[in-house]
Amino acid sequence: MCGIIAVLNPTFTPSTIIDNFKKGQHRGPDHSTFEIINNSVWMGFHRLAINGLTPDSNQPFCIDGIYLVCNGEIYNYKELYQEYNIQPETKSDCEIIIHLYKQFGIHETMQIINASECAFVLYDSNTDCTYAVRDTYGVRPLYHAILGTMHIFASELKMINELNITTVQHHIPSTITMFHRGELKDVHYYTSLSSFYSMTDHIEDVYKGIHDKLYNCIKRRVIATERPIACLLSGGLDSSIVTAVVKRVRDELGVTEPLETYSIGLEGAEDLKYATIMANFLGTKHTNIIVTEDDFFNAIPETIYNLESYDTTSVRASVGNIMVCKEISKRSEAKVVFNGDGSDEVTGGYLYMKKCPDAIEFDKECRRLVQNIHLFDALRSDRGPSCNGLEARTPFLDPEFVDWYLMLPPEIRFTPHCEKLLLRKAFESYLPPCIANRTKEAFSDGVSSTKRSWYQIIQEKIPAIWDLDTVNMFNPPTTPEQRYYRMIFNQYYSNMENVVPYMWMPKYTTSTDCSARTLEHYNEKE
């Protein structure tokens, strides 16, 4: 991951902005630059070098008066250079954005690179127009802060949290924000299709289509890196599929170094057991990181600072995610970390979705989850690696896979007797039976044993917080756990509560907690 900031019509001094900008350096530990382009546009960039490892690939880029800071990976940039007969000036994948913009304009550029992950700000000094853009599903983070006539775009809240700006929001995914002579305009460059394929294929052809789409999405992410790779392997279906495909692609490419895989959990955790089985099945160089209950609980304040959210399920899941990435950064040369995030939203894998009343409602819920994933799982997926100087690769959120899968008829995607059945069938030959048939276990639950869950541990250890003023509070906390998280969040990001527009909760249930282990039908999964 990298970190970017762009300030339009600045009203602060450069030193004030730079002091805040430096707080995002963990995202890009290899090189940092802050440039005053002119009186109206300032740009900063923290670089984690993944492609084009030489200094000429440092940002901001400037070509023919067009400036760019981009936190992203344009996976097919080499093919685009060939297709459009463009001669690059560097070996960076992000440079292609400027060339495409010059040739096609910003809207068509985003259509061309839609399968990539990026959040960027481009300033064209020739037209005095600035564009802030975020990828289709918000895999790469971007915040938009407004103070009077000043606009700031930044990768993280901590890069702006001491500027006393109260109007801060997530930049909406698949949106281009155009800024020209004081006028702001948002344009959506991409809308997911809501129509469905007619079901004329044999079901085996559907399995093959799912396999081929996801395989290609993973393969392009394996190829597009000059830095070593590792995989987060929980032993669940999604991370196991991604790891198995990464291993197979590396074998095809002739990579001889063993693939590193990592899992984390408390003693007796379900994930550790299944991750070990999967790692042995694939022959990876696997590391199980075993932590104590106190290790997990004491990491909550740092987790909330890095996550920049007080959402209950996001905090619970991010503790282990951040801790395992910290260990990778200490133990490994790997800088690119693959994960299985996004699958549950796309395929409807959450246990509560077994209780959807029908296939149409199931489809609506999947699309809602995908549309809002940047607020929850995509945020967690980014922060774990990025706060430890690593880059996440999230192939399940590639639009090529997401859109193809969601266009399958809902009646074949909705399989309440066995969640994610199509995905299981598509990749069952890649997995041992106990993994292919393992029922969904949320990461925030799987890091603990079934006898003593992470959810239960938190309830026992959480302090009683009664001095938190919740009168007129946005998203007021309703439990001691939520009060604790909110108190910590407010210590770091006061007046920024609206970045969590609502709390993630399962539907179709009477449960008042977000843990899948509290669902009425949890034990039906066996």
Q: How far apart are CA 207 and CA 278, in angstroms?
A: 22
Say which residue the tokens 């919740």 belong to.
Answer: 470
Q: How far apart are CA 5 and CA 17, in angstroms?
A: 9
Contact between 170 and 499 (Cβ < 8 Å): yes
Start-end of H helices in 163-269: 203-223, 237-252
Length of the chain measured in residues: 526
Give residue-wise pLDDT tens across range 495-519. 899 999 999 999 888 776 766 555 4
Give residue-wise pLDDT tens across range 146-160. 999 999 999 999 999
Contact between 232 and 339 (Cβ < 8 Å): yes
Q: How far apart are CA 403 and CA 19, in angstroms?
A: 41
Phi, psi of 450 (to 5 degrees): -75, -20
Which residue(s) pair with 119 in the sheet?
71, 134
Nearest CA among 310, 279, 475 for reference residue 376: 310
Q: How far apart are CA 117 and CA 123, in angstroms?
A: 19
**What is the reported pLDDT for 522?**
47
pLDDT by residue, tens only, the chain of 526 residues: 899 999 999 999 999 999 999 999 999 999 999 999 999 999 999 999 999 999 999 999 999 999 999 999 999 999 999 999 999 999 999 999 999 999 999 999 999 999 999 999 999 999 999 999 999 999 999 999 999 999 999 999 999 999 989 899 999 999 999 999 889 999 999 877 666 666 667 899 999 999 999 999 999 999 999 999 999 999 999 999 999 999 999 999 999 999 999 999 988 888 999 999 999 999 999 999 999 999 999 999 999 999 999 999 999 999 999 999 999 999 999 999 999 999 999 999 999 999 999 999 999 999 999 999 999 999 999 999 999 999 999 999 999 999 999 999 999 999 999 999 999 999 999 999 999 998 866 555 566 666 677 778 888 888 766 667 776 789 999 888 999 999 999 999 988 999 999 999 998 887 767 665 554 454 554 4
Contact between 289 and 263 (Cβ < 8 Å): yes
Q: How far apart are CA 113 and CA 100, in angstroms?
A: 9
Q: 203-223 and 399-406 helices cross at what angle (nearest 10)?
A: 170
Contact between 331 and 458 (Cβ < 8 Å): no
Q: How far apart are CA 395 and CA 399, in angstroms?
A: 9
Q: How far apart are CA 155 and CA 70, in angstroms?
A: 10
Contact between 435 and 237 (Cβ < 8 Å): yes
Say which residue the tokens 């790779």 belong to.
Answer: 229
- Active-site option among 2, 217, 356, 387: 2
Task: Give 13: exposed, middle or buried? Use CB within 10 Å, 0-12, 13-18, 19+.
Answer: exposed
**What is the reported pLDDT for 515?**
62
Q: Which domains does the chain have, with CATH numbers?
A: 3-188 (3.60.20.10), 203-525 (3.40.50.620)
Task: Give 503: exposed, middle or buried? Use CB within 10 Å, 0-12, 13-18, 19+.
Answer: middle
Q: With H, G, I as helix, E, B as strand and everything else as coil, classify residue 378.
A: helix
Q: How far apart are CA 322 and CA 306, in angstroms?
A: 9
Q: ∠ CA 229-398-50 to the nearest 5 degrees? A: 35
For residue 432, cis peptide bond before it (omega within 30 degrees of 0): no
Nearest CA among 124, 208, 497 for reference residue 132: 124
Active site residue 2: yes
pTM exceeding 0.85? yes
Nearest CA among 351, 364, 370, 368 for reference residue 415: 351
DSSP-derived secondary structure for 444-506: HHHTS-SSS-HHHHHHHHPPP------TT-SS---SHHHHHHHHHHHHHHTT-GGGS-S----
